Homo-oligomer: A and B are copies of this chain.
């Protein structure tokens, strides 16, 4: 399969991959879905899937229409080191939500996870494997997975409160206000004391 250049059928192949990816993610969750399996289901060479989407995370973003390269953005967030990590993570998170003209794919992820076990599993595995795991894994802290869960709880709750249920004044507050309020929470969950001692 040609990997570059315009040719007949390339947009058809891309669409076939996306259709197969959506089915695979919905049926098998995030962890059990592979580029190779999706390529097989779509009847294309795995190299073509790589060519179009780069990675499983990229394929997931395209299949769910989430308007951001999450792994790349989170790598930049994590690269700054532990100091100010909470502030950078909240700023990035809000920029994804506030920066897109169409929030419906993000809302669909949250709504699906709230309503369907398959969608909850997909979001759970994606968050664990790609998002929070990458940020927390770069830190040398005890209980990394619990910390990632706590960060996830505040981030999902922030999305619910600001964008779904739209509690005021939080929903209309400047991003800087939200960052100032929430960043210390995320920083403590990531690098601070979270136990009783």
Contacts and interface: CB of A to CB of B under 8 A. Distances in A.
B120 A164 contact: yes
B164 A149 contact: no
Interface secondary structure of A, over-half rule:
helix
A174 to B, nearest CB: 10
A157 interface: yes
Contact of A166 (B124, B148, B156, B194): B124
A125 to B, nearest CB: 10
Nearest to A158: B153
Interface residues of A, number: 45
B185 A154 contact: yes
B152 A167 contact: yes
Nearest to A115: B111
Given A146-B173, A154-B153, A195-B180, A166 B111 contact: no
Contact of A149 (B115, B148, B167): B167
A70 interface: no
The copy count of this chain in the complex is 2
A3 to B, nearest CB: 37
Contacts of A173: 146
Interface string A155-169: 111101110111111
B114 A164 contact: yes
A110 B114 contact: yes
Contacts of A189: 181
A168 B182 contact: no
B160 A160 contact: yes
Given A146-B173, A164-B114, A166-B120, A155 B152 contact: no
A127 interface: yes
B156 A154 contact: no
A145 interface: yes
A149 B170 contact: yes
A123 interface: yes
Contact of A196 (B124, B180, B185): B180
